[in-house]
Amino acid sequence: MVLLRSLFILQVLVRMVLTYNFSNCNFASITDIYCNIIFHDLTGDLKGAKFAKFEQIEDCESKPACLLKIENYTLNPIPGCPSLPEKIFAWRTRAALIGHCPGYPETERNDGTQEMAQEVQNICLNQTSQILRLWYSFMQSPE
Determine if 119 is a binding residue for other proteins (CB under 8 A). no
HSE (CB half, 13 Å, CA atoms) of 67? Answer: 25
The span from the CA of 50 to the CA of 60, in Å, is 23
The answer to whether 51 and 133 have CB atoms below 8 angstroms apart is no
Question: Under rule CB under 8 A, which residues in 31-50 are in contact with other proteins?
Answer: 34-35, 39, 43
Burial class (CB in 10 A: 0-12, 13-18, 19+), 3: exposed
Give the interface segment with other proteins, choosing from 10-18, 92-100, 105-113, 130-138 (CB under 8 A): 130-138
Both ends of the chain: CA-CA distance in Å?
44
Determine if 92 is a binding residue for other proteins (CB under 8 A). no
C-beta closer to other proteins: residue 24 or 56: 56
Computed on alpha carbons and rounded to an integer, the radius of gyration of the chain in Å comes to: 16
In angstroms, give the least distance from the CB of 43 to other proteins: 7
Can you tell me which of 59, 86, 111, 119 binds other proteins, judged by CB under 8 A? 59
In angstroms, give the least distance from the CB of 133 to other proteins: 7
Which residues lie near other proteins (CB under 8 A)?
A: 34-35, 39, 43, 51-53, 55-56, 59, 61, 132-133, 135-137, 139-141
